[in-house]
Amino acid sequence: MLHELIILYHSFNRFLGTTQGEFYKQSIEAIILLIITYMVASEYGRERELRLKYLIIAFSALFIEKIFAVIILGNVLFGSLGSNILSGQLQIILSTLEIIALLLIAHAFTYTARKEKQVFFQSMRIEITAILLIFVSFLIIWNVNVHFLHETINLYFIFVIHEIMKIIVLGYAFYLTLFRMNKHEKYRFSVLLAFAIYLLTPILTLINLVFLPSGVIRVLSHPFPIIAILLFMRATYLKLVDKATLKEEITTTRTKYQQELELSKLKDEFVSTVSHELKTPLTSMRLHLSLLEKQGDVSPKQQDTIALVQKENRRLTMLINDLLDLSKLENKKITLKLTRTNLNALVQDTLYNNIAEEKKITLTNNIPEEIMVALDEDRFKQVIINLYSNAIKFTPSGGDISFSAKQHKTFWEFMIKDNGIGIPKDKQKLLFTKFFQVENYLTRQQGGTGLGLAIVKHIIDLHHGKISISSVVGKGTTVTIRIPVKVR
């Protein structure tokens, strides 16, 4: 079976080496190149990219060379031209056209690899050398007499020069694709393989010309150009498909983004409207509850009920305020009012020691008194209050909470540390998510809206800073904030 396949392969190659086989081969290559040129030209009509322009010129040049060869071979097979026309000047002209086309193909497919200035000039030197060699071969044709031109010795040297030029052009294109092109670029391997396979043709032809004039090796090279062209077609087609798919995805994403913007706008309007509408009745409730408390005929049971309603009123008011603040922060409706502030004094003024005293928690302010930083005082007070509230909430009675700060060359650092219950590692990355609570909502005993850390994160982002949390269950939590010395 293998022996039969080898015989079939050699028979096929020998057929391609005939005038009829060459005609069919060149015709198939011309059709493929026409299809590729049409595809690229259609895409160029929609989006005029320089890379696509190079590809159109390159494939058009190779198509012209193939169609010219098809016309000549067709006339030899079916017309009045004799087979002697396939030698001499015509072969040199066809070979010259192929070199020019290969030069353009190499230029088009190595475009991304040649953007670097040094590589571009190296590549240009190779191309200029190839063009000069083409020019020299034409001078040889036109500057000797016709009789001397047809002597084998002169044609032999011209063909050798042409095959060397093809090797130079394809070899350098292979080098650029292998070593200079981005290794993650899609379909790079197809282009690399195409240059390698096409390169085999001039190499085998040169070996044939120099060492084996019988033409045995050259016959083996006949299928390689069409295989290389098919690989070029594959890479080009898939890139165009990817580009069309990407455009479709971008359009879909843009549509979804616009829808999200509309939904976000509606949500913000809803939150703002509802929050403001709720504030009025809550204020009224708070006022009437205060009046009820002041009446002397309120029983202890009624007093407890009023206190409970007041507590829930405060919690609901806090939730509404947090929602409004978060909505403004998310929509970037808040601008910072930066001032030079003594950090130690700001922390000291913000802390509510009575809350800590109720749980017998020790507060320590280790911030150096001389540290002056640029920040928005009102917004940073929110940060301190939210972090401090969390620390108080999750630190058991008799625990410790400490504040510290450091001044660095380009940034300053603020830390709050407690020895509370800690936060599981898998929950830490979710801490800045809206409404997220570390404890299960059915079992948690501590109050809170789940918006505090989300607000903190947005305020730190407004200061172009970073916030990180380090925690070990059962040992405590440290929150670290870093803010640039110069806030943009």
How buried is residue 66: exposed, middle or buried, by Cβ count under 10 Å (0-12/13-18/19+)? buried
| Cα–Cα distance list, 410 to 198, 255, 375, 399, 466 (Å) | 57, 41, 15, 34, 13
Instruction: Judge if 186 and 320 occupy the same domain.
Output: no
Among 201, 239, 238, 206, which Cα is nearest to 220's? 201
Instruction: Judge if 159 and 50 occupy the same domain.
Output: yes
Domain count for the chain, please give it: 3
The CATH number linked to 478 is: 3.30.565.10
Would residue 99 count as lying in a domain? Answer: yes
Element (H, E) at 339: strand 338-342
> Which of the listed residues 252, 275, 307 is the one where a domain comes to its end?
252
- Structural domain for 364, as ranges: 338-484
pLDDT single digits (tens) 9-64: 567 666 666 778 778 888 888 898 888 888 888 888 887 887 788 888 888 888 88
- Cα separation of 169 and 174, whole Å? 9
Degrees, nearest 5: CA angle 297-302-307: 115
The CATH number linked to 215 is: 1.20.1070
Other Cβ atoms closer than 10 A to 376? 20
Would residue 139 count as lying in a domain? Answer: yes
The CATH number linked to 301 is: 1.10.287.130
> Which of the listed residues 196, 219, 252 is the one where a domain comes to its end?
252
Provide the CA 51 distance to its chain's centre, in angstroms: 20
Token pair in block for residue 298: 């309120």
For residues 115-131, give the mean pLDDT: 51
By the 8 A CB rule, do 225 and 29 touch? yes
Instruction: Judge if 240 and 273 occupy the same domain.
Output: no
% helix, strand, coil for the chain, step of 5: 70, 10, 20
**Residue located via tokens 């057929």:** 15
Is the predicted pLDDT of residue 155 greater than 70, yes or no? no
Q: How confident is the model at residue 480 (pLDDT cuts 50, 70, 90)?
A: very high
> Which of the listed residues 222, 252, 282 is the one where a domain comes to its end?
252
By the 8 A CB rule, do 60 and 27 touch? no
Would residue 257 count as lying in a domain? Answer: no
Instruction: Judge if 245 and 301 occupy the same domain.
Output: no
Q: How confident is the model at residue 182 (pLDDT cuts 50, 70, 90)?
A: confident
Highest mean pLDDT among 7-16, 41-50, 314-323, 393-402: 393-402
For residues 359-368, give the mean pLDDT: 87
Beta bridge partners of 365: 403
Would residue 361 count as lying in a domain? Answer: yes
Strands (E), 343-453: 362-365, 372-376, 400-407, 411-418
Beta bridge partners of 484: 411
Q: Is the pTM of this model over 0.85?
A: no
Identify the pLDDT of residue 481. 92
- Cα separation of 472 and 484, whole Å? 28
Token pair in block for residue 241: 């498909």
Q: How confident is the model at residue 148 (pLDDT cuts 50, 70, 90)?
A: very low
Instruction: Judge if 89 and 188 occupy the same domain.
Output: yes
Instruction: Judge if 166 and 30 occupy the same domain.
Output: yes
Would residue 448 count as lying in a domain? Answer: yes
Lowest mean pLDDT among 87-91, 262-266, 351-355, 449-453: 87-91
Instruction: Judge if 448 and 325 occupy the same domain.
Output: no
Is the predicted pLDDT of residue 117 greater than 60, yes or no? no
Strands (E), 4-83: none
- Cα separation of 350 and 357, whole Å? 15
Instruction: Judge if 369 and 302 occupy the same domain.
Output: no
Please compute, for residue 406, the number of CA atoms within 13 A of its CA located in the half-sphere on the CB side: 8
Highest mean pLDDT among 37-51, 148-162, 411-425: 411-425
Write out the DSSP string of 351-396.
--HHHHHHTTPEEEE---TT-EEEEEHHHHHHHHHHHHHHHHHTS-
Which is it for the CA torsion 314, 315, 319, 320, positive or negative?
negative
Instruction: Judge if 271 and 232 occupy the same domain.
Output: no
Instruction: Judge if 242 and 313 occupy the same domain.
Output: no
Other Cβ atoms closer than 10 A to 163? 22
Instruction: Judge if 22 and 84 occupy the same domain.
Output: yes
Would residue 258 count as lying in a domain? Answer: no
Report DSSP state, residue 178: I
Identify the pLDDT of residue 128. 56
Beta-carbon contacts of 351 under 8 Å, excluding residues fewer than 6 positions away, are 363, 365, 384, 388
Beta-carbon contacts of 25 under 8 Å, excluding residues fewer than 6 positions away, are 16, 222, 225, 226
One-letter amino acid for residue 478 of the chain: T
Report DSSP state, residue 423: -
Instruction: Judge if 189 and 293 occupy the same domain.
Output: no
